[in-house]
Amino acid sequence: MAEALALHLWQSTLVLMLAWGLTRLCRRNSASLRFYIWFCAALKLLVPFAWLQQLGDYIGRALPAPLAIGPALLETGGAIFVPSFTGVSVIADDMRPNLYMALVIIWACGAAVLLIRWLAQYLAMRSMLRSAPQLPMDLPIPVRVVATELTPGVFGVFRPVLILPKSVLSELSASQLQAIVAHEMCHVRRRDNLLAAMHKCIEVLFWFYPPVWWIGANLLREREAACDESVLEEGHEQSVYAESILTVCRLGVTARVAGVAASIGGCLHQRLTSIMSEQRALPIDQPRFWLLASVAMAMLYGPVMAGIASTALREASATGSIIFETITLQSAKTDSGWRRGAQFDPDAGHLALDNVSLRQLIALAYPASRVNGEPDLIDSIHYDIQARWHAEGHASERGVYRELLSRILRTNSNLQLYVKDGCGDACDYVRGQLVAGRIR
């Protein structure tokens, strides 16, 4: 578990470094583009590459025949993305359970503190807004006027509410108030509160990982810059908009509350400099677009292809015969067809199948095959199978399944399995025989 977490954090760190490089490359493009680059990097923390590689492994095992892939293709990527964490193994075996339990307790306490703090702020704000008077404005969301020193902002994820303090309403001119409201409505259109809540959950889960807080700071900066760009694109004057932000700051309205997208977030000096600058964001050109698209495809499909390649390498390196030491076959403990499990451990020579039918076992041995047979025999009856085996050399997973299937059919029934290549739907159904037609 510790090795898997260390590997996940290492891979996530590489993705964050890549995201930082891409945002630097797109620094003259829109802030919205940079925001979503950082947000995708944050989502990577929720999706380990190992999950995508397992998906690829599943796809590779479902192919009719293993792909011809050389081992050299896996060595370079594996050295970078799957390093060896030998330092973890120096901990004595008898100390590991206690150490892991202590670390889990520390993590749980930190996550609970952050979650309770976040929820307390959220509930306090919601309670205050219930009694706040509503201000009639021509906006698609309700507007609430508060007397406390809160920043103008949008509260709520699915039913957003615009918050306007009384001091801001009395001090800002009509044009300044329109600019502030335009900024907040941009947050509503972008669903910034929903995205911020998602990242807040990531912070709760990975509070011990310092880069997650760095991502949050970058998300806040780019989010506010994106709304600033939108306000100026709507035609509001630069000086009026800058003065409105300064006025809000002068009033001392600087409170930060969880769940509120505010108009004075981010670095104030950097925002004002950008607002008053005559330089505007450039549209993304084709080289940058295709670079971002290529990186996104590589991050998504790279681990999947690695899983397929790993499965193909295992199948291609299979040598020697398979000898089963014990096979335990018994009726499944449950008749639920959706719950099925398979554990294949080639190092220990152990195989466990839970709640599988003969048709499912044939599909494991001969992927992408069509099976004709008596439904009552190959579909209705489910088994729990435990087997131990050893091989004279390296054994592939589908090779073990094929030998297991042959032993079960030969030992426990008078049925035989006839495999015909390329017959598809033309496989004839013969009573008392199982015919598996492999599709080319």
Q: For residue 113, what pLDDT is reported?
A: 95
Strand order in the sheet with 369-372: 369-372, 434-438, 417-421
With beta carbons less than 8 A apart as the criterion, state whether 209 and 199 touch: no
**Can you tell me the distance from the alpha carbon of 66 to that of 375, in angstroms, rounded to the nearest whole number?**
29
CA distances from 92 to 84, 96, 98, 99 (A): 18, 6, 11, 10
Q: How far apart are CA 217 and CA 266, in angstroms?
A: 8
Residues 271-295: pLDDT tens digits? 888 888 888 888 999 999 999 999 9
- Reduce the DSSP state of residue 227 to 3 states and report it: helix
H/E run at residue 429: none
Between CA 157 and CA 199 the distance in angstroms is 13
Whole-number percent of the chain with pLDDT over 90: 32
Angle at 198 (CA atoms; ends 197, 199), nearest 5 degrees:
90
Whether 253 has a pLDDT exceeding 70, the answer reads no
Q: How many CB atoms lie within 10 A of CB 357?
A: 19
- The pLDDT of residue 423: 59
Residue environment code for 94-114, b if the CB has 16+ CB neighbours within 10 A, otherwise e: eeeeeeeeeeeeeeeeebeeb
Task: Report yes or no: 161 and 193 within 8 Å, Cβ to Cβ.
Answer: no
Q: Which of 62-66, 128-132, 331-335, 404-408 is most confident?
A: 128-132
Of 239-253, 305-319, 352-366, 393-407, the one with minimum mean pLDDT is 305-319
Q: How many other C-beta atoms lie within 10 A of the C-beta of residue 211?
A: 18
According to DSSP, the residues that pair with 391 across neighbouring strands are: 322
Question: What confidence category does residue 77 fall into, taking pLDDT thresholds of 50, 70 and 90?
Answer: very low
For residue 265, pLDDT over 70 is answered with no
Across residues 198-219, what is the average pLDDT?
94
| CA–CA dist 436, 365 (Å, integer) | 10
Check whether 389 has a pLDDT greater than 50: yes
Q: Which residues contact 315 (CB under 8 A, 6 or more apart)?
A: 60, 66, 396, 397, 398, 399
With CA atoms as reference, report the closest residue to 150 among 228, 259, 243, 229.
259
Q: Tell me which residue of 236, 184, 213 sits closest to 114, measured CA to CA.
A: 213
pLDDT tens, residue by residue, 294-350: 999 999 888 888 887 777 766 666 666 788 888 888 888 765 555 567 777 777 888
In whole numbers, what is the pLDDT of the chain averaged over residues? 80
Residue type at 122 in one-letter notation: Y
> Counting beta carbons within 10 angstroms of the beta carbon of residue 84, is it exposed (0 to 12), middle (13 to 18) or buried (19 or more)?
exposed
Helix, coil or strand: residue 240: helix
Residue with tokens 């993590």, as numbered in its chain: 107
What token pair was written down for 190? 């972008």
Judge residue 132's burial from the number of C-beta atoms within 10 Å of its C-beta, 0-12 exposed, 13-18 middle, 19 or more buried: middle
Residue 327, pLDDT score: 84
Q: Are 32 and 25 in contact (CB under 8 A)?
A: no
pLDDT at 80: 46
| Residue spans per domain, the chain | 2-47+91-283, 319-438
CA distance 416 to 430: 11
What is the CA 246 to chain-centroid distance, rounded? 39
Q: Residue 294's pLDDT is what? A: 94
Q: Please answer whether residues 338 and 356 qualify as being in contact, where contact means their C-beta atoms are separated by less than 8 angstroms.
A: no
- Give 83-99 pLDDT, tens digit per residue: 544 544 555 566 777 88
pTM beyond 0.85: no
